[in-house]
Structure 1
């Protein structure tokens, strides 16, 4: 399931393909970013296999999802594109860039997940749902009511310390992830992330596309000092843009900075650090849900499995 926005006669940017993160669907990037790029670029927003209204098919690995996205680009005659990835979508994008370098015009990572973290821990319900039979029963019976009871608080922590946009949960169709099939797909994806990152990250140096990484220093979902710093270190020439007091959602809180990053990897002389300062000025006083959603800390390296 996808939304394809063809290029207009005045398009000045290469095609842009958007890859959403865990627990999301194509609307999560389309709603804030499409209006800013309309008429400037051909755009492809897609529900990753198993999410939103896409069926899972044989796409249980990150590599398979990357290949399926490339096949969709073939169908739509998109030869080469800038890939914009949020959160878990960052890991899939590293697979895409390695498996399809000829299709990769540039990379923009937003609060990405990409590298192994000490301990490799994820939420208990991901592990439970990924277990055969028991996980199926959980996703079919308890996941929806339990998830709906927690969805407001969980969303607040995704955005914190920034404010959740009015109507975000409904407008972005976030409850779609609680469909039993989507819930299981999400769990299978997250459960394999650590092993993927351990095996794939030593090869990120093979990625040669122009790259920008945008992260907030108040991200409460992923360890930005591991993932974002790691991408800057491992991808030659990558630019890391730190934004003070930004949480996990640059696509919604700093869409102008995201567009600037797209322009930068397309070759425009954009000062992303100056743009980041502008964003910081807008959100300097944000402190939403700080008490409810504490900053995450990198776990002790001794917890890492051998």
Structure 2
């Protein structure tokens, strides 16, 4: 069965949300690209025992609270009986997933945070990125992604997966990308980490050249009460596309989830 055939849209928002597989719910929250499309490989591996939910982040959201409300909306549509879900957040999506966990712990069975952070420092980096994204032709983002692919992905990720990444990220809009960067200028979860009470697994790639993932995961896992941490050796920031990373197996090893 092809990826297209195995994915069916959620009932109320077919243009934004897709559900694949049957079983306990698992929802993926995307990074800065916001498309929700880059989970395709892991969704295929997980769908044999989970109802995998992926969705597009709202481009017009101006606050983390607005995006938290979007997660609630998609969960309500895809899981109308309110069954708690495993929530997987990647990079920016990890920041959103932790914010969601603080606001709605009753909706979460477990939390998985990949290559994320409690804040971004220095903020000058964010403002510089906002300025660059505002001024340069948006088509240059595709060129930049192609040129930086070796630093963004795990070194052994197949070129076909990287080509697919480049194709799928064309769906990222300037408006959404800039708004998500602006949201991060106000984001600082350090004081609230101790309030995250759901079981949490921090995954950190040791060859992440985008953010100091291992350092951040070490900091966060030491402060979240019910947390574990796993270093993904030999992996880069976008490691969900790597051939040897199987989130389903990681979940089984972590408490038989």
**Do the aligned partners of residues 95 and 68 (structure 1) sit closer, same or farther apart at CA in structure 2, a change above 3 Å counting?**
same
| Equivalence map 1:164-175=2 (5 Å) | 164-170=158-164, 173-175=168-170
Unpaired runs of 5+ residues, structure 1, are: 51-55, 130-134, 270-306
| Equivalence map 1:38-49=2 (5 Å) | 38-49=47-58
* Rounded Cα–Cα distance in structure 1 between residues aligned with 2:251 and 2:56: 21
**1:189 and 2:180 correspond:** yes
**TM-score normalised by structure 2 residue count:** 0.83
* Rounded Cα–Cα distance in structure 2 between residues aligned with 1:23 and 1:201: 24
8 Å contact 1:6–1:42 — kept in the other structure? yes
Paired residue secondary structure (1:115): coil
* Rounded Cα–Cα distance in structure 2 between residues aligned with 1:206 and 1:127: 34
* Rounded Cα–Cα distance in structure 2 between residues aligned with 1:234 and 1:21: 23
**1:205 and 2:194 correspond:** yes
Partner residue of 1:23? 33
Partner residue of 2:10? none
8 Å contact 2:214–2:231 — kept in the other structure? no
Q: Greater CA deviation, 98-107 or 109-118?
A: 109-118
**1:34 and 2:43 correspond:** yes
| Equivalence map 1:76-115=2 (5 Å) | 76=78, 77=80, 79=82, 80-115=84-119
Structure number with greater Rg is 1
| Equivalence map 1:273-288=2 (5 Å) | none
- Superposition deviation, residue 116 in structure 1: 4.0
Tell me which of 163, 186, 203 is aligned to 2:157: 163
**Do the aligned partners of residues 150 and 63 (structure 1) sit closer, same or farther apart at CA in structure 2, a change above 3 Å counting?**
same
Q: How many residues in Structure 1 have an aligned counterpart in Structure 2?
A: 239
**1:224 and 2:201 correspond:** no
1:190-228 deviations in Å (ceiling 9; x for gaps): 13314212xx32111111111111111110011224421
* Rounded Cα–Cα distance in structure 2 between residues aligned with 1:42 and 1:222: 30
1:11-59 deviations in Å (ceiling 9; x for gaps): 4xx3100001012522201x21122112301110111112xxxxx3xx2
The CA RMSD measured in Å over matched residues stands at 2.4
Unpaired runs of 5+ residues, structure 2, are: 1-15
* Rounded Cα–Cα distance in structure 2 between residues aligned with 1:165 and 1:229: 31
